[in-house]
Amino acid sequence: MSRRMLLKGGTVYTGRGDDVIYSGFVEIFDGVIGRVGAVRDLTSTFDGDVVDTTGKTVMPGIIDTHMHVFHEPQMLRLSEGAAALWGANYVQSALRAGVTTMRDLGAQSGAVFGLRKALSEGYVVGPRYLVAGKAICMTGGHGWANLSAEADGEDAIRLLARQQIKLGADVIKVMASGGAGTPGELPTQAQLSMNEIRAAVEVAHDAGKPVAAHALANEGIMRAVEAGVDTIEHGVFLDDRAIELMLKRDVALCPTISVYPRIINRGPAGGESAFVIEKSKPLVAPHIESLRAAVAAGVRIVFGTDATTLYNPVGDFSDEMDLMVKAGMSPVEVMRSATGTAAEICGVSHLVGVLETGKLADVLVVDGDATRNIAALSDTFLVLKDGRSVYGKGDGYRNAALTAEPVLKADLSR
Ligand SMILES: [Zn+2]
The answer on 385 and 297 residing in a single domain is: no
Q: Would 20 be classed as within a structural domain?
A: yes
The answer on 332 and 286 residing in a single domain is: yes
Q: How far is the CA of 213 from the centre of ligand 1 (A)?
A: 10
Q: How far is the CA of 306 from the centre of ligand 1 (A)?
A: 5
**Domain of residue 167, CATH code:** 3.20.20.140
At residue 403, the pLDDT reads 56
The answer on 357 and 336 residing in a single domain is: no
Average pLDDT over residues 70-95: 87
**Domain of residue 56, CATH code:** 2.30.40.10
Between the alpha carbon of residue 169 and those of residues 124, 339, 345, 375, the distances in Å are 19, 21, 15, 33
Average pLDDT, the chain: 93
Average pLDDT over residues 65-82: 87
The answer on 52 and 67 residing in a single domain is: no
Cα torsion 35, 37, 102, 369 to 10°: value is: -150
Q: How far is the CA of 142 from the centre of ligand 1 (A)?
A: 10
Q: Would 177 be classed as within a structural domain?
A: yes
The answer on 259 and 279 residing in a single domain is: yes
Neighbour tally for 269: CB within 10 Å: 7
End residue of a domain, out of 286, 315, 346:
346
Between the alpha carbon of residue 72 and those of residues 107, 132, 209, 311, the distances in Å are 10, 17, 26, 10
Q: How far is the CA of 178 from the centre of ligand 1 (A)?
A: 12
Q: How far is the CA of 130 from the centre of ligand 1 (A)?
A: 14
- 213: three-class secondary structure by DSSP: strand
Q: Would 255 be classed as within a structural domain?
A: yes
Q: How far is the CA of 135 from the centre of ligand 1 (A)?
A: 10
Give the DSSP letter string of 256-297.
Answer: -TTHHHHHHHHTGGGT--HHHHHHHGGGHHHHHHHHHHHHHH
The answer on 372 and 285 residing in a single domain is: no
Q: Would 195 be classed as within a structural domain?
A: yes
The answer on 140 and 37 residing in a single domain is: no
Q: Which amino acid is at 250?
A: D
Give the DSSP letter string of 353-367.
Answer: SS--TTSB--EEEEE
The answer on 159 and 34 residing in a single domain is: no
Is the pLDDT at 414 greater than 50? The verdict is no
Q: How far is CA 296 from the centre of its chain?
A: 22
The answer on 105 and 13 residing in a single domain is: no
Between the alpha carbon of residue 194 and those of residues 221, 320, 399, the distances in Å are 10, 30, 40
Count of the separate structural domains present in the chain = 2
The answer on 141 and 255 residing in a single domain is: yes
Q: Would 397 be classed as within a structural domain?
A: no
The answer on 364 and 312 residing in a single domain is: no
Out of 90-104, 165-179, 399-413, the most confident range is 165-179
Answer for the pair 253, 235: CB distance below 8 angstroms, yes or no.
yes
Q: Would 406 be classed as within a structural domain?
A: no
At residue 400, the pLDDT reads 52
The answer to whether the pTM exceeds 0.85 is yes
Q: How far is the CA of 367 from the centre of ligand 1 (A)?
A: 30
Give the domain extent around 33: 4-60+353-392
Residue 331's nearest CA partner among 98, 20, 55 is 20
Q: How far is the CA of 152 from the centre of ligand 1 (A)?
A: 21
- Dihedral sign computed on CA atoms, order 344, 349, 354, 357: positive
Burial 312-340 (b: 16+ CB within 10 A, else e): bbbbbbebbbbbbeebebebbbbbbbbbb
Q: Would 325 be classed as within a structural domain?
A: yes
- Which range is least confidently modeled, 34-43, 103-112, 301-310, 340-349? 301-310
Q: How far is the CA of 69 from the centre of ligand 1 (A)?
A: 10
Count of H helices and E strands in the chain?
A: 14, 19
pLDDT class for 2, splitting at 50, 70, 90?
low
At residue 406, the pLDDT reads 59
The answer on 208 and 337 residing in a single domain is: yes
Average pLDDT over residues 293-321: 90
Is the pLDDT at 122 greater than 50? The verdict is yes
